[in-house]
A and B are shown apart, each in its own frame.
Chain A
Amino acid sequence: GAVVSQHPSRVICKSGTSVKIECRSLDFQATTMFWYRQFPKKSLMLMATSNEGSKATYEQGVEKDKFLINHASLTLSTLTVTSAHPEDSSFYICSVEPRGDSPLHFGNGTRLTVT
């Protein structure tokens, strides 16, 4: 069964509003989660590393005030796209850092469309 649950799978919002995407680790407690963004016909770009109980680590070029990450519990990380613009439209995917030698698990992604 699924190891990582991501919600919602699709969301449409108006420019200027904020959207929250949830990523849940279902099988184990995860101190570290990752958020990726995927542009059409492009690869995944790591946006940030979400750390439970501390601030997220953002990759170069990613606006931390634009993409707010909260990792308030060992099973939940949220990504909030604030004051969304059409150029924020994309496919966002989260992943959970596994234990030991287990593979990296990904959520099924969230298709965000900003109108």
Chain B
Amino acid sequence: AQSVTQLDSQVPVFEEAPVELRCNYSSSVSVYLFWYVQYPNQGLQLLLKYLSGSTLVKGINGFEAEFNKSQTSFHLRKPSVHISDTAEYFCAVSARAYKLSFGAGTTVTVRA
């Protein structure tokens, strides 16, 4: 089985500052890794995914994440956030195609 731990439940950040959301996973097999964003009362939107290949993955809205196999991490970063980045962010892992296990989520609040 796979599991995900998101190390920060809430991350307040000022506009135009950088942000990093931490995600660690556990699995006995190779995995696929994802970051999703959820705006209030909406479904999930894929930010980026790691399936194989380059460990630095670039996604939408200026986000990127780095897969670190030795540290079993997949941290999400953005160099400069906007007010519109205020949302809930979920890290997810899957060993079998697209049957995902989600982390508990990180609430990002961007302040002016």
Residues of A within 8 A of B (CB): 4, 6, 9, 34, 41-46, 49, 91, 93, 95, 97-98, 101, 103-109, 111
Contacts and interface: CB of A to CB of B under 8 A. Distances in A.
Contact of B43 (A43, A46, A107): A107
A88 B46 CA distance: 27
Contacts, number: 51
B83 interface: no
B11 interface: no
B98 A104 contact: yes
A113 B90 CA distance: 24
Interface residues of B, number: 20
Nearest to A91: B41
A108 B42 CA distance: 5
B90 A43 contact: yes
Given A103-B46, A109-B41, A109-B43, A43 B51 contact: no
Contacts of A44: 44, 90, 100, 102
Q: Which of A9, A41, A44, A108 has the most CB of B within 10 A?
A: A44
A95 B99 CA distance: 10
B101 interface: yes
A30 B98 CA distance: 13
Given A98-B98, A109-B43, 15 more contacts: A6-B43, A42-B104, A42-B105, A43-B102, A43-B104, A43-B105, A44-B102, A45-B102, A97-B97, A101-B51, A103-B46, A103-B49, A109-B41, A109-B42, A111-B41
